[in-house]
Structure 1
Amino acid sequence: MRKQEVVVKRSRQEKLAALRQHNRVPVLVVGGGINGISTFRELALQGIPVVLIEKDDWCQAASGALSRMIHGGLRYLETGEFDLVKESVQERDRLLKNAPHYVSPLRTTVPIDSWGGGLINASKRFLRLGEKPTRRGALLIKTGLALYDLYTRQQGSMPRHRLNNTAETRARWPGFAVWVKYSATWYDAWIKAPERLGVELVLDTEQSHAGALALNYVSLVASDGERVTLRDNLTNTLFTLEPHVVVNATGAWIDHLNQQLAPADPRRLIGGTKGSHLIIDSPALLAELRDEMVYYENQDGRVCIMFPWYGKVLVGSTDIRVDDPENIACTPEEQRYILESLHFIFPHINVSAEDVVYTFSGIRPLPASDTEISGRITRNHSLVYFPPDASHDFSILNLVGGKWTTFRRFGEQAADRVLKLLGEKRRRSTVNMAIGGGRNFPCHERLPIWIRELSDKYQLAEPRVAQLVDRYGTRAELLLRLIAAEEEQPLQHHADYSDTELRWLIHEEQVFMLEDLLLRRTALGISGQLTPPLMAEIAHLMAQELAWSEACRQQQLEMTLSRLARLHGVSGLRLACQSQPAGVLHVG
């Protein structure tokens, strides 16, 4: 058995100093979304000194704007992408096993309006003779689910699908619209904290190999063909690296980066589409859903979803072609489309724009395509290699496409290609490797017992222990030790979080901006729990921990308020902040 390397945790300053001292690196991965993080992980585990940079925070763009589904790709059967479905089902089940603290089974129901609808159009789509989406009948959906079961049963983890007749459908879903005649039920999975899982992968990877360095808030700003110039966005300082291989994992920004790295290559690789989602505060809709997802077709045939989310309801999404990936936000037209789709399924439930507490949008990094129908663009992933040429001495490997469910497999394939370029061989597999707080996570039956044991060990109430385990999995024990050593104080404006917990997140999980903590290390933002006093209190705590000046603290608060309003539709916070007395905003 190979001896485990002991890796000492390094600060950001120490990592930057190491890069400046040794500016030649075998591999530079650009892009800290889930596919870039996965490639970084795979290479580091093979003993490769690899550097990962991200211009913003980990999983801030498309990797933080997913539908929160980890699914096998049922609808890809209709387009004949059987290998993608098989791969997706395998990777879904691996995530259920390797990240059980964040990925869970999700019972899913699709409402159906007819028995034989959609057969002709589905056949045309399968044979590439037509592209227009249409509504699908019970026979077509049952056929697809029967095929889906074949892939699922090979893994042996999920129950078979069930087709429900009208009486059975009405008994479970009395609120469905009158046009719903049948329904079908099956199981996929969902992920409750994708951004946190991305961070855990980064932390795991840096602990696995001393030569693996990950830096958020670092941009690649220039290249002379031999060296690349990087900028630390927190200090505006520049430094250079000389990589042997650059992995371009920037998603929707791939073509933009290649204009710097490979100006002689005119190829267009990405043709992204925007997907927008709403978080809705509707007790009536939440009660209707209970613990299930409704996977439904809108009147135009486009597939949408809705399911419970932190006491709210997540609904989406749209699929709109876009050229500029910057500052993507849900438009009023998209919001109207999604709300109308809700009314189409549950006409008796009144949901309005006032019930929307948060919106988010991301660009799917799909391969460039001339098709007029966005849904026809493959969701599969591919690697595009740019060999060294007159404009650049380093190799460039582009990660095109991909989806959250298959990130491990995509990263594995990318790493294997890089290893071949370096003349190295694979040493370790991540197929059965647990992630972060999923390591040694107890089974469902054992979980209450373990929580009780932790409660006794650290002398903390069981509900609080259960809350921390729900947030951090087995990593919660690291925090529990800290809480036992220094008594925690609940936040004044949100008693479910404490000062000790937030300080732990700041120092252990590479938090540098107020937004990092509010939107990605916690679910406070996306679950609609932010208030002006709470934001001010957390900004004050961060200022203490990161030695911010008063001007910096105010700037962080203003910048976060602005981004919440502009990108997430949370405009009321700014108005509330402006109306608050100064003493409320300046906590402490």
Structure 2
Amino acid sequence: MDNVLTREQRLNQLRQRHAAPVLIVGGGINGISTFRELALQGIPAILIEKGDWCQAASGALSRMIHGGLRYLETGEFALVKESVMERDRLLKNAAHYVFPLRTTVPVDNLSGGLVNATRRFLRLSDKPTRRGAMLIKTGLSLYDLYTRQYGTMPRHQVRNEAATRDRWPGFAPWVKYSASYYDAWISAPERLGFELIEDAERACPTALALNYLQLVSADGETVTLQDVLSGEHFTLQPHVLVNAGGAWIDQLNQRLHANAGGPRLIGGTKGSHLILDHPELLQMLAGEMVYFENEEGRVCIMFPWFGKVLVGSTDIRVDDPDSVVCEEEEKAYILASLRFVFPDIVVPDAAVVYTFCGVRPLPASDATVNGQISRNHSLVLLPPDATRAWSTLCLVGGKWTTFRRFGEEAADRVLRLLGEKRQVSTTDLPIGGGRDFPPASGQSAWLSQLARQYDVPLPRVTQLVKRYGSRALPLLARIQQQGEQPLRQHADYSALELHYLIEHEQVCQLEDLLVRRTGLAICGELTPALMQEISLLLASTLGWNENQRVQNLQRTCASLARLHGLTGLYPTVVQEEIRHVSNQ
């Protein structure tokens, strides 16, 4: 892991390559998965992303890894089966980040929704409706069938009103029954995305992944790429171009002239979520997720999130994926949905410590209800023609849980176009820090052994393994060699740890470190003084001058305010900067 390439070394490799068998455009989870699948077959693919890895929709997921219970109602049995299988594979292959999650569904009646559910199944109605206990039990029984066939999750349970009220005294009076089952959640989706890239480049050293590199034009034979940070241009001749642009697929196709005048492929919907600092609600949840229908029948979620509560979401059609933010109306909608199931819970404005949203890259659809649009994935091949020499493979739709399977399908299609065959399966292949990661029963002994081996206190070893899985081992070795000191503004991180992330994980901007390589932002732990301290550390590692550092800090503050509702940081950060300058 210590033979990591610097950004300049990566760019130099790109300067020396004028052709590539495969160029993947889009560094979300599906583009990353396709890159990994191809690299494992020895294909020297190039992956580019105009921003940071998993910056858009792939970093704005609900943090659930789930089988898609509600897709049974629309007859997408194959999708549910595939999702359950991929969920259980992630529980094994990424056990450092993916964990079982007990989930409860509050229910208000016994037999409601049966007629409308049948009509939705037969595509005779898009009307949302509340589901009764019998309907939910039927769905959960099918869910259990897939789970028992492909995994080891416990079976579902249905509680009567007395048992429901005993476990959930805060539920609204309309709740008469409840059903509980198991799905899963992911603690660090953006980090898992980067670990997939790292695994790919380790497997195929000639494969190359570069963030902050965008495709700007195409001339029929070559495409032109631009380094977003420096403005430098590169030309490349791909044999196959994989359009993994998510909500931007149609825009990219227009730029490539790959589908000019052709059918629209994407009809994205916007989903927003909130992170709440609310001890009372956190205590009520007691480690479980509540998966519920609000007053209009839309499915919403809430579950514990690192001492906070994650709650969401919305489902709104959008035409411009670049402009989406969590609006005040959405916050009000989400909090009203929360009060519908927990009417006595009051959420003051100050309890909302973070907001995030993304555009689900759903297939274009004429459905009148967004929830009825399929979450399945598909491949659309645009063959070479008079305007371009390469094949364009578009990755349409998909959900986070099934990224491995979607990447596998996309890679197999590319391999056929290249005349190559698959050599390695990823079905049972551990990811990143999930490699050599012991089962829960053996973790205590393993952590104690690591503490002795590296002479690092057990609480710190436990903390780092929780963050990085087995990828913590080289970091522990460095701590053993050099020692570490906690940050002045956050004792749970050290300068050495953040230096390590910056050097090894393609960190180019302060926001990369605060939002995607660590959980500092989403966990509501950012302060102006901490941001300044980390910006000074980042500048020293990347060789920024003071002007570059201040500009990047200001851009990060503006981005956090616009995209994540952290509007109070900027004025105090300015004051901290004035204090910093006066002390020099």
Q: What is the TM-score with the length of structure 1 in the denominator?
A: 0.98
Q: Answer with 441-450 or 258-267: which moved more.
A: 258-267
Equivalences for 1:317-396 in 2 at 5 Å? 317-396=313-392
Is contact 1:119–1:140 with CA below 8 Å preserved after alignment?
A: yes
The yes-or-no answer on 1:133 pairing with 2:124 is no
Is contact 1:244–1:395 with CA below 8 Å preserved after alignment?
A: yes
Q: In angstroms, what is the RMSD of aligned CA positions?
A: 1.3
Is contact 2:6–2:503 with CA below 8 Å preserved after alignment?
A: no
Provide the residue aligned with 1:442 in structure 2: 438
What is the CA-CA distance between 1:391 and the residue it aligns to? 1.2
The yes-or-no answer on 1:29 pairing with 2:24 is yes
AA paired with 1:151? Y
What is the CA-CA distance between 1:127 and the residue it aligns to? 0.6
The yes-or-no answer on 1:99 pairing with 2:94 is yes
The yes-or-no answer on 1:219 pairing with 2:188 is no
Whole-angstrom CA distance in 2 between matches of 1:580 and 1:394:
52
What is the CA-CA distance between 1:578 and the residue it aligns to? 3.6
Provide the residue aligned with 2:198 in structure 1: 203
Provide the residue aligned with 1:3 in structure 2: none
Provide Cα deviations, 1:11-42, integer angstroms capped at 9, x if missing partner. Answer: 22222222222211000000000000000000
Whole-angstrom CA distance in 1 between matches of 2:248 and 2:478:
40
Whole-angstrom CA distance in 2 between matches of 1:284 and 1:587:
42
What is the CA-CA distance between 1:264 and the residue it aligns to? 3.5
Q: Answer with 337-346 or 264-273: which moved more.
A: 264-273
Provide the residue aligned with 1:519 in structure 2: 515
Whole-angstrom CA distance in 1 between matches of 2:279 and 2:451:
33
Provide Cα deviations, 1:225-280, integer angstroms capped at 9, x if missing partner. Answer: 11000001111100100000000001000000000111544221000000000001
State how many pairs are aligned. Answer: 583
Assess, with a 3 A threshold, how the Cα gap between structure 1 residues 560 and 97 changes in structure 2: closer, same or farther.
same
The yes-or-no answer on 1:576 pairing with 2:582 is no
Whole-angstrom CA distance in 2 between matches of 1:512 and 1:271:
31
What is the CA-CA distance between 1:300 and the residue it aligns to? 0.2
Assess, with a 3 A threshold, how the Cα gap between structure 1 residues 584 and 107 changes in structure 2: closer, same or farther.
farther
What is the CA-CA distance between 1:587 and the residue it aligns to? 8.7
SS at match of 2:128: coil
What is the CA-CA distance between 1:370 and the residue it aligns to? 1.2
Provide Cα deviations, 1:293-335, integer angstroms capped at 9, x if missing partner. Answer: 0000000000000000011000000000000000311011100
AA paired with 1:386? L
- Structure 1 outlier segments of 4+, above 6 Å: 585-588
SS at match of 2:74: coil
SS at match of 1:494: coil
Provide the residue aligned with 1:528 in structure 2: 524
Assess, with a 3 A threshold, how the Cα gap between structure 1 residues 459 and 120 changes in structure 2: closer, same or farther.
same
Whole-angstrom CA distance in 1 between matches of 2:465 and 2:2:
25
Whole-angstrom CA distance in 2 between matches of 1:243 and 1:325:
27
Equivalences for 1:404-553 in 2 at 5 Å? 404-553=400-549
Provide the residue aligned with 1:122 in structure 2: 117
AA paired with 1:63? S
Assess, with a 3 A threshold, how the Cα gap between structure 1 residues 47 and 265 changes in structure 2: closer, same or farther.
farther
Provide the residue aligned with 2:12 in structure 1: 17
Provide the residue aligned with 1:301 in structure 2: 297
What is the CA-CA distance between 1:164 and the residue it aligns to? 0.6
Is contact 1:537–1:585 with CA below 8 Å preserved after alignment?
A: no
Whole-angstrom CA distance in 2 between matches of 1:228 and 1:568:
34
Q: Answer with 350-359 or 276-285: which moved more.
A: 350-359
Provide the residue aligned with 1:187 in structure 2: 182
Is contact 1:201–1:435 with CA below 8 Å preserved after alignment?
A: yes
Provide the residue aligned with 2:105 in structure 1: 110
Is contact 2:4–2:504 with CA below 8 Å preserved after alignment?
A: no
Is contact 1:330–1:567 with CA below 8 Å preserved after alignment?
A: yes
The yes-or-no answer on 1:259 pairing with 2:261 is no
SS at match of 1:296: strand
Assess, with a 3 A threshold, how the Cα gap between structure 1 residues 587 and 373 changes in structure 2: closer, same or farther.
farther
Provide Cα deviations, 1:50-87, integer angstroms capped at 9, x if missing partner. Answer: 00000000000000000000000100000000000000
Equivalences for 1:237-256 in 2 at 5 Å? 237-256=232-251
Provide Cα deviations, 1:536-580, integer angstroms capped at 9, x if missing partner. Answer: 000000010000010010011100000011111110111322444
Provide the residue aligned with 2:72 in structure 1: 77
Unaligned runs of 5+ in 2: none
Whole-angstrom CA distance in 2 between matches of 1:73 and 1:586:
56
AA paired with 1:576? T
What is the CA-CA distance between 1:460 and the residue it aligns to? 1.2
The yes-or-no answer on 1:174 pairing with 2:169 is yes
What is the CA-CA distance between 1:459 and the residue it aligns to? 1.2
Is contact 1:7–1:208 with CA below 8 Å preserved after alignment?
A: no
What is the CA-CA distance between 1:584 and the residue it aligns to? 4.9
What is the CA-CA distance between 1:124 and the residue it aligns to? 0.7
Whole-angstrom CA distance in 2 between matches of 1:357 and 1:147:
38
What is the CA-CA distance between 1:211 and the residue it aligns to? 1.5
What is the CA-CA distance between 1:581 and the residue it aligns to? 6.7
Provide Cα deviations, 1:379-417, integer angstroms capped at 9, x if missing partner. Answer: 000000000011111000000000100000000000000
SS at match of 1:501: helix
Whole-angstrom CA distance in 1 between matches of 2:385 and 2:130:
49
What is the CA-CA distance between 1:8 and the residue it aligns to? 5.2
What is the aligned counterpart of 1:161 among 147, 150, 156?
Answer: 156
What is the CA-CA distance between 1:288 and the residue it aligns to? 0.4
SS at match of 1:524: coil
Once the two structures are aligned, what percentage of the paired residues are identical?
65
Whole-angstrom CA distance in 1 between matches of 2:280 and 2:248:
40
Provide the residue aligned with 2:393 in structure 1: 397
Unaligned runs of 5+ in 1: 1-5
Whole-angstrom CA distance in 1 between matches of 2:475 and 2:405:
31
AA paired with 1:441? F
Is contact 1:53–1:218 with CA below 8 Å preserved after alignment?
A: yes
Q: What is the TM-score with the length of structure 2 in the denominator?
A: 0.98
